[in-house]
Structure 1
């Protein structure tokens, strides 16, 4: 069998086809979108989800490069193959820039496109340059222009939490995008991708006829890899991975599903896999947290702090109504839209009666990666070593040795310096939630309501339930008595598993964290 080549980090359609890299066919979506009503389209998807490759595919299609599409779906759909002038702008390179460098970056992209069409311009204003570029191309070629803007919001995301810098950079980008409305007579097709939606950019405030296809059922699989595509277009890859892992095909599919599947961008929806992680897994013949190795966006962690979102809120899931998904980033009342758009939460269910979407963490890769990222917030400089402690705790809990696991946690916490913001019970409850959530074979819940009150933490393993009550500067006996007095175990007596009650007390003594517990 010939060695397969995967386009890891390659986002250019022409290179992927020319070098015979593995390509999951999305050309039917390209045809459908280019032949539907409307001219302006916006797609939101998480980072590294195939947006750039989709834009590159569109570029080759509108440039009429028919030979690249042989044996792909669009070959049997398109009959005209009209060639259009295409302007392609990627804003990915505009990250981490202040005003002047960002304006220069825009001018450099404009100059590159001007050279492509033999146009000379001398204005220092990006908006004037863009307007003249579009108008001149139309005059020279006699054809309407296609504009493809990839990651339109990239220059703004890293300053999302900065009240001073965000308005400055937003004005730069708004100025750049402003000519699109006046250039309408010269435009054939405009496609814009990004993660979130900034209302105070001219794209959304002036192009009021822009079509947001992000949650439309017809485009649910336009990015990412659907379960059907995995089982049909990548069936050989599954078999090769199974052989290398020495497990069955069905076991391999289940591991792929638990690690990288679970995304839904509408409801009902096909299961969507993270394409970056899936292809890396096939290439390396191993399961790993590929999406997270590319970095957790700083803006997300900062926005969690700004909105005071606790890890348990994400882990337990959130509810949202349809308008929240489209809420402008600058005026959103909760972090829910950004968590969804960034890929850390996805649609898990829909309550048609109340018109409520239930959001949850998509898969194991996201759960483990996100909580490992958040752990240092609760453990300070020792956070990097927390993962090792958690792994050792998991081995003990697997043997029903909760006492040993808590002893390990106690030993570890005594090495972690405390600070002022740790002096409350909620801090330790969230820390406990994160540590137990990283034990990925278990189900974790916090603040579980019963008819007699709320249980702080419930951990369900394959063999039993652990009901955990936490105290701060109290006593473990007091915590255990609360579980018994409120009859919390009664809620689980018919679940087919034994129940273990655990009372834990956290306190700070001589600048060190201390934990004691009682188990019954």
Structure 2
């Protein structure tokens, strides 16, 4: 099989298909989705392929058959029908005010009006959007397809400013309620984002089918083991296949486990194991909450939570379990079926997330990001050598290096778990990797 180009950062289905990039076929799942319902919601962590899937839906509904040659949808789709597609995205830029959001919405609605050769008839966003759907449906003779990408990003951009976040939430709520009000003229609607806000956000759109935790669509975004072994087979020589699994596999939403596509593609390009996904966005807000709420961090990799809690996310009410799960720092490990509910056990998805998150937390607990570095390198050498006296001296030196003023001024230092958390983080940075033979086994005994 010849090597192809790696679609790093490409979210355009046509570009991937026309320029000979690798493509993992999700079109069969897209057809299943469309045949099974008409309005959906999907939450996935950042850089997981949500935008590409939306663009795939767009090309499918617009009837661009040539792009689907050889794919699952080619023989399953009715190519005689074409639908007008309206796509709204909040992926670009940062919303810093209500005016920013309103300007973005007016610009996107104006672009859609130009696309369909129409003029704006109402000044307010909701009426303008509703009228646009109606007029496009009447003119084309087909009901409209509405695709919304990063539906929640404007809220997340200002999540630390509660008053502003609430204003933005209400504006978006009014926008999304138009989709329900226009149901007679909407053939299909699909909203994606990182977080799933509570039903307050969707009170105007309560007929969405949430496929976030659904075994039928667990691999709708991301690469499966089989995808890596087949589609990307030309890229595998020279790389340790089991290490690829340990570093990047493990995300689970009740279906088959998947890899983050961004990690896999960067690995194939650079031929080096690194926390590529983690490095694209430091979880500052998450770390801040963990510190404020005095979370006993050794428990992060074995959290139990009901399904309802994982969907409880709103401005001013953000459970850590929901935040960790929705943003991709924890994933489903086990499911227990209780009467009328599901109980989940969450875990770190893979080595990348476990090691990187613990390193960031260690820097925060230390009070100075520069403190852990020299100690981490020394810890690695001592673990390899099995030097327990050296380990004892290292931990004494590390605790002594934490500024006394930081400990006394921080509420985290008021409980014993603070010190246990620091000890745990030091170990987790390297012990997950010590599964080999010889002296490397010392890491497992050390824990």
Verify same fold: TM over 0.5.
yes
Q: 3-state SS of the aligned residue for 2:40? A: strand
2:14 alignment partner in structure 1: 14
Determine the structure 1 residue equivalent to 2:306: 321
* 2:407 is the alignment partner of 1:407: no
Change in 2 beyond 3 A, CA 1:342/1:140 = same
Match of residue 100 from structure 2: 101
Aligned positions of 1:129-144 closer than 5 A: 129-144=128-143
Distance 1:264 1:464 in 2: 25
Query: 1:91 — aligned with what?
Result: 90
User: C-alpha distance in 2, partners of 1:81/1:230?
Assistant: 34
Q: TM-score, normalised by structure 2?
A: 0.91
> Distance between the aligned counterparts of 1:387 and 1:63, measured in 2?
53
Give distance in 1, aligned partners of 2:200 and 2:309.
Answer: 18
**Where does residue 312 of structure 1 map in the other structure?**
298
1:155-234 alignment, distance < 5 Å: 155-199=154-198, 204-234=202-232
State the shift of 1:69 in Å. Answer: 0.6
Closer, same or farther: CA 333–286 of 1 in aligned 2, 3 Å: closer
The superposition leaves residues 448-506 of structure 1 with CA deviations (integer Å, 9 ceiling, x where unpaired) of xxxxxxxxxxxx95477347xxxxxxxxxxxxxxxxxxxxxxxxxxxxxxxxxxxxxxx
Shift of 1:331: 7.6
Structure with more of its chain in strand, by fraction = 1
Unaligned runs of 5+ in 2: 435-439
Alignment pair present for 1:341 and 2:332: no
Out of 398, 405, 408, the residue aligned to residue 384 of structure 2 is 398
Shift of 1:323: 2.1
**Alpha-carbon offset, residue 399 of structure 1:** 1.1
Deviation of 1:123 after TM superposition, in Å, equals 3.5
Query: Which of 224, 241, 249 matches 1:261?
Result: 249
Instruction: Tell me the distance in 2 between the aligned counterparts of 1:179 and 1:372.
Output: 44
* Residue 282 to residue 81, structure 1, CA distance change in 2 (3 Å): farther
- Conserved? CA contact 1:199–1:328, under 8 Å: yes
Equivalent in the alignment of 1:453? none
Q: Structure 1 residue 70: deviation in Å?
A: 0.6
> Greater shift after overlay, 395-404 or 350-359?
350-359
> Given the alignment of the two structures, is residue 362 of structure 1 paired with residue 349 of structure 2, yes or no?
yes
- If asked which structure has higher relative contact order (CA below 8 Å, sep 6+), I would say 2
Aligned partner of residue 59 in structure 1, secondary structure: helix
What is the SS of the residue equivalent to 2:88?
strand
- Measured after TM superposition, the shift of residue 374 of structure 1 is 1.4
Q: CA RMSD in A?
A: 2.3
**Larger deviation: 23-32 or 158-167?**
158-167
Structure 2 equivalent of residue 62 of structure 1: 61
Q: CA contact under 8 A between 1:225 and 1:275: conserved in structure 2?
A: yes
1:417 aligned to 372, 384, 403, which one?
Answer: 403
Distance apart, 1:212 and its partner CA: 0.5
Question: How far off its partner does 1:58 sit?
Answer: 0.6
Cα contact 2:3–2:235 (8 A) shared by 1? no
The answer to whether the 8 A contact 2:22-2:231 is kept is no
Q: 1:106 to 1:281 in 2, by over 3 A?
A: same
1:157–1:299 contact (8 Å) kept in structure 2: no
C-alpha displacement at 1:186, in angstroms?
0.6
Bigger radius of gyration among the two: 1
CA distance in 1, matches of 2:243, 2:183: 48
Change (3 A) 1:384 1:51: farther
- Note the C-alpha offset of 1:332: 5.4
Cα distance in 1, alignment partners of residues 283 and 383 from structure 2: 32
Could you tell me which residue of structure 1 aligns to residue 437 of structure 2?
A: none
User: Does the CA-based 8 Å contact 1:123-1:129 persist in structure 2?
Assistant: yes
- Residues 1:424 and 1:310: Cα distance change in structure 2 (over 3 Å): closer
1:283-316 per-residue CA deviation (whole Å, 9 max, x = no partner) reads 111111110111124332333345442322213x
1:217, CA displacement in angstroms? 1.4
Deviation readout 1:2-21 (Å, 9 max, x if unpaired): 55311111111111111111
Q: Judge conservation of contact 1:198–1:329 (CA < 8 Å) in 2.
A: yes
**Equivalent-residue separation in structure 2 for 1:289 and 1:328 (angstroms):** 27
